[in-house]
Structures are given as structure tokens and as C-alpha cells.
Structure 1
Amino acid sequence: MIVLKAEVFNDGRHTGENIAAKLETMLSSWGIPKENVLCIVRDGGTKMKKGISLLIIKNIDCLSHQIQEKFENEEDPLLWWKVNSNKYGILSPVAKEYLVTPPTSVLSERVFSGAKIFYIPHRNRLHGERASKLLFLKFNIPSLQFNY
């Protein structure tokens, strides 16, 4: 999330109309068209939802408050997302894209090659959970473009 600007309601009234006016002012000051905005509304804020709907901006409720259901390990995640796609509309296509099995074995072979770095003769007591975390870091830190 990027915060571009913060506004204060000087009159103290958080009505949907006031929120819409503040949002519109902020977007226009940055030259951001409403079509490029996706608002994530937290805590079921009804006045915020009204303000966003008055501006006709795409929005979703905060997913950390919504996704509370857990499914069993035996349940197929793709089937779960198919059944619940209406409930989590905007997130469903993303889940379907990232939950599929890659059509090639290159990625899994890359992970096995990376494991050779950790499983060497003088590290023969490395437990699976620790190795899994090390592999996760090895392959995901570069995507963060973290300079250390």
C-alpha cells in the first residue's frame, strides 16, 4: 500500500459525501483517474463505503477480515476457490493463477538444486522445517530486490 496524501476532516463530520469530496480532491491533486483506483475498505466502514460508491470507485472489503474460513488439507484449493469465487470476487482470479501446478518441472528442479547448498556432509542434522525456510528465503529475497 502506498499513502499519497492524508486529509483531516476539520468539521469533524465523516459523512459519505465528505469522504467522497476528500477522495476526489486527493485523486485529482495527483492526477490519478478513478478507473485506476482500487480501495480496500477496512472494518466494514459504512460511511467510507458510501463515499467510495458515490465516486464510483472499484472497492473490496479488507480480505484479512473476510477470509476466515479454513479448509482441510485434503480439500482441493482450486475447487474451494471455484465454490467461493463469488464471495471473494477480485481475489479469486489471482488465486487460480498462482495455485495451478506449473506445466514444467524446471521450477521444482531449481528448488532441488538449491537444496544442495543446504544439504552438505557437514550439515547433516538440518531439519526439514529449517531447510524449507532457508530455501524459501533463497528463492524469494531476490524478488523483494532487497539490498543487503
Structure 2
Amino acid sequence: MRDSASARRPTDYEPVDETDTASARPDILALVDPVISMEEGSIHPQSREELIGTTPDDATLDAHSIYKLVTAEMPPTFIFEANDDDAVIPESTFRFVAALKEVGVPVELHQFEQGGHGFSLRMVRDMPTEAWPELLVEWLGSKGMLD
């Protein structure tokens, strides 16, 4: 894990007004089928190649493996995915969940048995996966995001 100071990115430009100094940190993360790691065996090979090339060095792998970048300042996180996802290996999510828990960031994970990759509202009719929007709304309410 990085400490919060090393996780900050340098400023891309000089601020013009107070809006430019406002935090860009989201209040929550809601992730579906997240790409958590670029490490060998953790991602669909074509996705890795398209995102970081065929022979990335260790620094590139680390910079694109989000579970290694977790800090206590990350927002509460809701994750949903399907165990039968053939593009993004669901097991890699456990690393991210463990890293979030380690630094005290609230996290909720829903792994559905079926749904495949990139399921949406229309692709999950009559499947347990169909419940994800309601689960997300309930979670948002529990975090005071719907008040």
C-alpha cells in the first residue's frame, strides 16, 4: 500500500480559481466487472495487451494494478460482478477488497453466479444478477448518499 502523500498526483496545470483546487475524489466507487490487476493470470490477455502492451515492465504493472494503490482516503466502494465472467477474472477482486479492508475503507462485494462480462439491466432478466441496481441503491442509502 502507498501512504496518502505518495498516492497524490502532481498538478497538471496551475490553478486558475478555487474550482481548480477542489478535490476530484469521488464520494463513492461503484464498480462492475472491475479490472483490478494487470499481473499475469489476473486479466484477460487481450485487455492487458490493449491497455499496457505485450511486455510491460514491473513499474507499469504496479501502476495499473489498483489493489496496490489503495489508500485510506479512497471512497467507500461497491463492487458487483459475475463468477462466469470470461473476460475479467473475478478472483482478482479479492485482492482489492482485502486492500480496502486493510486500510479501513468500507467495501461491499456482490459476486453473482451467472451474468457473464458486462451484464447490464437488460441482459440479466430473470436472473439473481437482476438485483444489482436495488442492492446498489440500498448501499447508497446506508452511506447517506440518498438523503
TM-score, normalised to structure 1, is 0.28
**Bigger relative contact order, structure 1 or 2, given CA contacts below 8 A and separation 6+?**
2
TM-score, normalised to structure 2, is 0.28
The structure with the greater share of residues assigned to strand is 2
The structure with the greater share of residues assigned to helix is 1
